[in-house]
Structure 1
Amino acid sequence: MNEGENRQIARDSLFLMADLRVDGLDGDFRIKVRNLSAGGMMGEGNVRVVRGTVVQVNIRNIGWIEGSVAWVQDNRFGVAFREDIDPRLARAPVTRVEDPAPDYMRYQSRPADTALLRKI
């Protein structure tokens, strides 16, 4: 696929935060995802990457995705994913994990009604 054909791929403009791991660098970098498609994304952040570098991106509701840097311009860069994703998942609300603790073990955020307590 040449560069002209690549520009025809549908993209979702959005703004969300993600974590980026860069091959050869220690730690995770917090970046902004500016647009997202099934095959890639545009990121922005204070991390210096070069074209061809292997990266991993942790996008909410999707998880870690491997890809490589396709282009770099100032503090923005494009990532081509190794495998296609469903970009609609990133827009979905973050799902809540059910607390496995029994009811009597969960923290109560409101004080107990003292009128209902039995005097001993």
Structure 2
Amino acid sequence: MKHFGKNVFADAKPADGSRRGRESVHVAARLRIVGAASAMKVGIRNVSAGGLMAELPRAIAPDAAIEVELAGIGWVSGRVAWQTAGRVGVAFDQEIDPVQLVAEEAGGK
């Protein structure tokens, strides 16, 4: 598996041609630590091809291997890139198409 590292957010290419490379979203998801039996509910606040930022109810260890279930995409593996005050940055192991999540969010409204 490829690990994107801590610069994943700055280095991510825009999926829709925009300059930022990140899409602001407000969607619920499930996140689990690899090997854990249960998942926690989280709120995804932005997503890019290489990672996401989520709000979560409890801390996760830095560099922990995780999986997050994204609507329209499914379970995606990654690692905790950073964490602060109830938020976590996740670097995906493989790029996703964030437009799928944005389209799912738009369809659910």
| SS of equivalent residue, structure 1 residue 90 | helix
Cα distance between partner residues in 2 of 1:19 and 1:2: 22
Query: CA contact under 8 A between 2:32 and 2:39: conserved in structure 1?
Result: yes
Is the radius of gyration larger for structure 1 or structure 2?
1
**Structure 1 stretches of 4+ moved >4 Å:** 1-6
What residue number does 1:46 align with? 57
1:55 pairs with 66, 73, 81, which one?
66
TM normalised by structure 1 equals 0.70
State the 1:24 CA deviation.
5.0
Displacement of 1:7: 2.2
TM-score when normalising by structure 2: 0.76
Shift of 1:4: 6.6
Do 1:56 and 1:66's aligned partners in 2 also have CA atoms closer than 8 Å?
yes
Give 1:92 deviation, angstroms.
Answer: 1.6
| Residue correspondences, number | 95
Please point out which of 7, 10, 14 is paired with 1:7. Answer: 10
- Higher relative CO (CA 8 A, sep ≥ 6), structure 1 or 2? 2
SS in 2 for 1:92: helix
RMSD: 2.3
Match of 1:86 in 2: 97
Once the 2 structures are TM-superposed, how far is the Cα of residue 74 of structure 1 from its aligned partner?
Answer: 1.1
Pairwise CA distance, 1:80: 0.3
The offset of 1:25, in angstroms, is 3.7
* CA deviation vs aligned residue, 1:46-104 (integer Å, no higher than 9, x gap): 03202110000000000000000000001101000000000000122478xxxxxxxxx
> Unaligned regions of 5+ residues in structure 2, if any?
13-20
